Structure 1
Amino acid sequence: MNFPTTCPECAREVPAEFADSLIHDLTCPACKARYVVFVRKQKFEVLFDLGTRALLEGYAREAVASFAAALERFFEFYVRAYALERAADAALDFEDALSALDGTWRHVASQSERQLGMVALAYLLREGRSPDFLTPGALGSDFRNRVIHRGALPRREEVEAYAARVFGLIDRLLTELGPGAAQVELAQERAFAAHLATVPEGVVAVFEEHPGMFRARRFAGPEAAVKGTPDKAPTPPLNDAQAFAWALAERGAGPGPLKRR
């Protein structure tokens, strides 16, 4: 998926393709200026936005694949957040903790069932209760498998229901994580800083924060998460489908990327 960037030298719009690292070394085709764009966004957020765009453009089956991948990557995000949160509580060195976490994750990186096991244990240790969201029904596993593995062609309303289920689960766990999510954000910032240190003199660094389905709800305060009025406390959405529908509408009307020089 491409996203627009603006050349800091000539202000020409230059399309860029999302990179796995969310670090983009670019050259303007017009003035040949070099610049690097750092996108402050987690991979699960990018994948969910991919699914949202596919759904809005009528590619229902492709949307399911992106929503399913977003959930898997969010589970990795959750495990990382918990592990780094515990390391911070124990006053362990952040780089050592991150290195140990990366080494541990390699053992399960290609095995989704083992990843679910790590999520289950992390949730139990953090919240003190069994993860009620890891059942096939809660995850929408049957629908996902029919579409991805058996080639089913889903109707749009089925995809919207699946997306609402995934959205509701991620949003709930993000809320429960609260400040714990900041540890993974810090890991991303450190990766950005390491790359920035290698950027040659004269290459402009641009940091962007893109609007997204979860980012506004997680970072913009309570008014972004639920509707309300100044003289009345906001009322949470009644169900996941409502929350997803509201966020989808906000995503469609959201502002462009925020650029920082």
Structure 2
Amino acid sequence: MKLPIFCVQCATDKKQKTNQMTMVDIRDDGLYQTVCENNHVNIVALQQQKFEILFDIGAYAILDGYYREAVSSFTTCIERFYEYYIKVISLKHEISEEVFLKSWKIVSKQSERQLGAFIYLFTIEKKCAPTLLSNSNIEFRNAVIHKGKIPEEKDAIKYGNDVLKIVRPILYDLKMNYTKYVDKTIIQYLEAIKQKTPDKKNPNVMFISTVLSIAKREAHWDKMSLENFLVEMQKNRKQF
């Protein structure tokens, strides 16, 4: 998955005849620095949370024929979404970032503990148990990730759609009913990126459309199948 970074200075300078664009690899820290052909230095922060990016990486892996990698990315996406949910609810209950990080460190290396934390926090918050991956999906995931099973395209797409069915309703609830805290997670995330920039200056903030999207509130967006998104992603690829 590549990310197009446009030069802000070229875009705003009327003397420049063309907008300079650089294709870069996705970074773990969300911070990008490029130098265009006119020697303009661009420092850009990608607004999207990790679970948003991971699902798209999985979708692009399907387009490229890497179905095993797609399953792995979808799996990590849902794990990071559980972390994000815990973060939002913690903010609602006025848990400081310092305390949250200290507690998260205890479970950060064990996915089963993270899942348990999500299940009980969701149950306390919503007064019902969350919908999780089915036993058949868990068996499929484990066979792919731990036993070297090589899935077919249809298997990877089905698994991706099943992940969407789990994440979307919860994410929609967060966007509609926890807006204040969702917005705060974005602010905190961008502030953390800012601390990594030279002289800790504010970077230009970049937003991209992702299959799972915190920013998009349109109902139809959360109803599109993975197959439909794959068609759109293939079209978008041809533009760059």
TM-score scaled by length of structure 1: 0.77
Q: Is 176-185 or 141-150 further displaced after alignment? A: 176-185
Tell me which residue corresponds to 1:214.
212
SS state of the match for residue 9, structure 1?
helix
Superimposed CA distance per residue, residues 209-246 of structure 1 (whole angstroms, 9 cap, x where no aligned partner): 10110228x624234345xxxxxxxxxxxxxxx73333
Tell me which residue corresponds to 2:9.
9
8 Å CA contact 1:211–1:256 kept in 2: the answer is: no
Task: Decide which of 212, 228, 239 is 1:246's aligned counterpart.
Answer: 228
Q: Is 160-169 or 96-105 further displaced after alignment? A: 96-105
Instruction: Give the drift of 1:172.
Output: 1.6
Tell me which residue corresponds to 2:135.
136
SS state of the match for residue 35, structure 1?
strand
Q: Distance in 2 between matches of 1:134 and 1:148?
A: 15
| 1:28-39 correspondence runs (5 A) | 28=35, 30-39=37-46
Q: Whose relative contact order is higher, 1 or 2, with alpha carbons under 8 Å and at least 6 apart?
A: 2
| 1:39-78 correspondence runs (5 A) | 39-78=46-85
Tell me which residue corresponds to 2:13.
none
SS state of the match for residue 96, structure 2?
helix
Q: Aligned residue pairs: how many?
A: 229
Say if 1:134 and 1:121 are closer, same or farther in 2 by CA, change over 3 A.
Answer: farther
- In the alignment, residue 190 of structure 1 is paired with which amino acid? Q
Superimposed CA distance per residue, residues 85-123 of structure 1 (whole angstroms, 9 cap, x where no aligned partner): 222xxxxxxxx6111111110000000110011011111
Q: Is 13-22 or 123-132 further displaced after alignment? A: 13-22
Q: Distance in 1 between matches of 2:135 and 2:88?
A: 24
CA RMSD after TM alignment: 2.8
Q: Distance in 1 between matches of 2:131 and 2:191?
A: 38
TM-score scaled by length of structure 2: 0.83
8 Å CA contact 2:194–2:202 kept in 1: the answer is: no
Structure 1 stretches of 5 or more lacking a match?
88-95, 227-241
Q: Distance in 2 between matches of 1:122 and 1:16?
A: 37
SS state of the match for residue 24, structure 2?
strand
State yes or no: 1:126 paired with 2:132: no
Tell me which residue corresponds to 1:229.
none
Say which structure is richer in helix.
2
Tell me which residue corresponds to 2:16.
none
- In the alignment, residue 181 of structure 2 is paired with which amino acid? Q
Say if 1:62 and 1:244 are closer, same or farther in 2 by CA, change over 3 A.
Answer: same
- In the alignment, residue 81 of structure 2 is paired with which amino acid? F
Q: Distance in 1 between matches of 2:65 and 2:84?
A: 29
8 Å CA contact 1:35–1:204 kept in 2: the answer is: no
| 1:180-219 correspondence runs (5 A) | 180=178, 182-193=180-191, 195-196=193-194, 205-215=203-213, 219=216
SS state of the match for residue 225, structure 2?
helix
Identical pairs, percent: 26
Instruction: Give the drift of 1:182.
Output: 4.8
